[in-house]
């Protein structure tokens, strides 16, 4: 247990980075960074998360009684922390797809700068993105203002610094593209004014700042619109070659659609729906069962000096990949098994098999590479229980063959999975019962051979 705690603590900087990226990009893929960038390390977001999360580690991982810390840490504190910062972080990271940026750019191109940009700038001032005393009537002035405040941005709104240089380059390219646009290719001034008015009105109706509402619209656009249409500079270049396409039309249409949904369901409900993948990704990074690159490297070099316990093995074998694959699928798989007919695709991660039996990317990702990993899978409180339940459901069926239940070649995959887990559980297990009922107690010879070779290779 002590070695797993040390590994967890050493992986904490990586987890913070992963969590921030989960909030920012809505993704749960692995990254290679194991150290914090200076911009993130110096932000209030990092300071807030470190302060509370270290106390969480002491209680939930280290086992210290909550009262000894002088403050109670709720079980769902990571979710609360992530949700509290999500909108503000995403509003900065998704700024290029934000109505605040897009409408400012379009207003400048359409000659509305002096009328509309001061109002847009006011929404940025309210979030600390622009200096309160400065005046702004052009996008160039806004970019200059953002550049001046970017150094203070991290501590002002708890977010990573805004990439002003990239915005400036995008604006330069957009102005250049816009010179070649045919008449009518820019949105009308009435269209720009009307959409800005809708954004202001809906923000007031929901009791939210324009920046918060704009952030949600940006997140929605990022999920709904093809990546190539999300940036105005790209849209202009593509649109210049296609007659009749209005600059930014896809973004503006999505903004209108999202504002309509906000009116129907309310800001809170819509935010939960849009942000749930981001918050879930951020929260999952702090789970002790979540494998990190740092911990895998430490395991490979033998950090800790003692034999790994079950918690260490969960990390070392990245069993979390099975939990992620089974999310939203397990219940359907169990229902199909109880009905006696597999109809959807889940075989590799519901009934794992030994490495070397398949050549597809799916088979390699969910392959079990040793008997030790198979044992860790079976002892996992969720995965082991699910495997046992699925196997029991098959054993409870009467009058059907494995081929009738699974089809081919999935009947052979079932046999190899049962062979693997019977090897690590013994003759009285449900896996042994499945081999007896459907395969006359005959194990899968190929699985036995691969297990033997793997064991010899480890010597």
The structure tokens 């082991």 sit at: 384
Same domain, 249 and 104: yes
Structure tokens at 276: 């749930």
Do both 253 and 386 map to the same domain?
no
State the Cα–Cα distance between residues 209 and 122, nearest whole angstrom.
11
Model confidence pLDDT, tens digit, residues 365-377: 899 999 989 999 9
Range of the domain at 324: 317-457
| Residue 98 maps to a domain | yes
Q: Is the pLDDT of residue 3 over 80?
A: no
How far is residue 79's CA from residue 86's CA, in Å, rounded to a whole number?
10
- Give me the DSSP letters along 67-113: GGGTS---TTHHHHHHHHHHHHHHHHHTGGGSHHHHHHHHHHHTT-H
pLDDT, tens digit, 9 for 90 and up, residues 297-339 = 666 555 555 445 554 454 457 888 899 889 889 999 999 999 9
Let me know if residue 81 belongs to a domain.
Answer: no
How big is the CA angle at 34 (ends 29 and 37), to the nearest 5 degrees?
100
Q: Is the pLDDT of residue 234 over 50?
A: no
The whole-chain average pLDDT of the chain stands at 74
CA distances from 205 to 92, 257, 445 (A): 23, 16, 67
Interval 254-280 mean pLDDT: 79
Evaluate whether residue 305 is within a structural domain: no
Q: Which range among 172-186, 367-381, 436-450 shows the weakest confidence by mean pLDDT?
A: 172-186
Asked if 373 and 317 count as a contact pair (C-beta separation under 8 A), the reply is: yes
Work out the burial of residue 124: count CB atoms within 10 Å of its CB; fewer than 13 is exposed, 13-18 middle, 19 or more buried. Answer: buried
Give this prediction's pTM: 0.48
Q: Are the CB atoms for 139 and 171 separated by under 8 Å?
A: yes
Written as six digits, the tokens of 361 are 């990317």
Q: What is the pLDDT of residues 80-108, one digit of tens each?
A: 444 434 555 566 666 778 898 889 999 99
95 found inside a domain: yes
Q: Tell which of 218, 243, 274 closes a domain.
A: 274
How many domains, in total, are found in the chain? 2
Examine the domain organization and report whether 324 and 270 are in the same domain. Answer: no
Contacts of 222 (CB under 8 A, 6+ apart): 26, 94, 97, 230
**Which of 274, 307, 325 is the last residue before a domain boundary?**
274
Rg of the chain (C-alpha set)? 27
**Domain membership flag for residue 56:** no
**SS3 label, residue 332:** helix
């Amino acid at each position: 247990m002590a070695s797993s705690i040390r590994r967890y603590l050493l992986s904490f900087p990586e987890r913070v980075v992963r969590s921030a990226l989960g909030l920012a990009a809505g993704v749960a893929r692995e990254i290679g960074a194991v150290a914090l960038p200076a911009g993130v390390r110096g932000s209030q977001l990092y300071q807030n998360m470190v302060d509370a999360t270290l106390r969480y580690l002491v209680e939930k991982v280290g086992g210290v009684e909550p009262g000894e810390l002088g403050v109670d840490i709720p079980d769902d504190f990571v979710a609360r922390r992530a949700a509290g910062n999500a909108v503000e972080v995403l509003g900065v990271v998704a700024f290029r797809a934000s109505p605040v940026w897009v409408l400012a750019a379009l207003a400048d191109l359409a000659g509305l700068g002096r009328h509309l940009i001061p109002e847009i700038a006011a929404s940025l001032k309210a979030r600390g993105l622009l200096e309160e005393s400065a005046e702004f009537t052009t996008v160039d002035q806004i970019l200059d203002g953002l550049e001046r405040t970017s150094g203070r941005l991290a501590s002002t709104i708890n977010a990573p610094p805004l990439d002003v240089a990239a915005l400036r380059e995008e604006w330069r390219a957009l102005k250049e593209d816009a010179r070649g646009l045919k008449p009518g290719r820019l949105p009308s001034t009435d269209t720009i004014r009307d959409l800005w008015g809708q954004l202001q009105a809906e923000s007031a109706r929901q009791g939210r700042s324009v920046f918060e509402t704009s952030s949600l619209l940006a997140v929605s656009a990022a999920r709904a619109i093809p990546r190539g249409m999300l940036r105005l500079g790209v849209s202009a270049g593509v649109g210049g070659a296609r007659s009749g396409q209005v600059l930014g039309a896809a973004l503006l249409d999505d903004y209108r659609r999202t504002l309509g949904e906000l009116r129907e369901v309310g800001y809170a409900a819509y935010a939960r729906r849009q942000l749930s993948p981001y918050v879930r990704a951020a929260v999952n990074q702090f789970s002790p069962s979540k494998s990190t690159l740092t911990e895998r490297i430490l395991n490979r070099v033998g950090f800790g000096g003692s034999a790994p316990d079950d918690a260490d093995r969960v990390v070392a074998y990245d069993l979390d990949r099975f939990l992620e694959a089974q999310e939203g699928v397990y219940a359907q798989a169990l229902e199909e098994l109880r009905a006696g007919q597999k109809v959807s695709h889940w075989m590799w991660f519901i009934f794992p098999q030994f490495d070397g039996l398949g050549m597809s990317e799916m088979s390699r990702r969910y392959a079990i590479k040793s008997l030790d990993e198979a044992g860790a899978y079976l002892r996992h409180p969720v995965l082991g229980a699910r495997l046992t339940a699925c196997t029991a459901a098959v054993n409870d069926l009467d009058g059907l063959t494995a081929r009738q239940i699974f089809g081919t070649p999935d009947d052979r995959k079932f046999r190899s999975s049962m062979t693997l887990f019977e090897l690590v559980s013994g003759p009285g297990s449900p896996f042994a019962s499945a081999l007896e009922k459907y395969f006359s107690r005959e194990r899968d010879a190929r699985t036995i051979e691969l297990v033997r070779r793997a064991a010899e290779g480890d010597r």
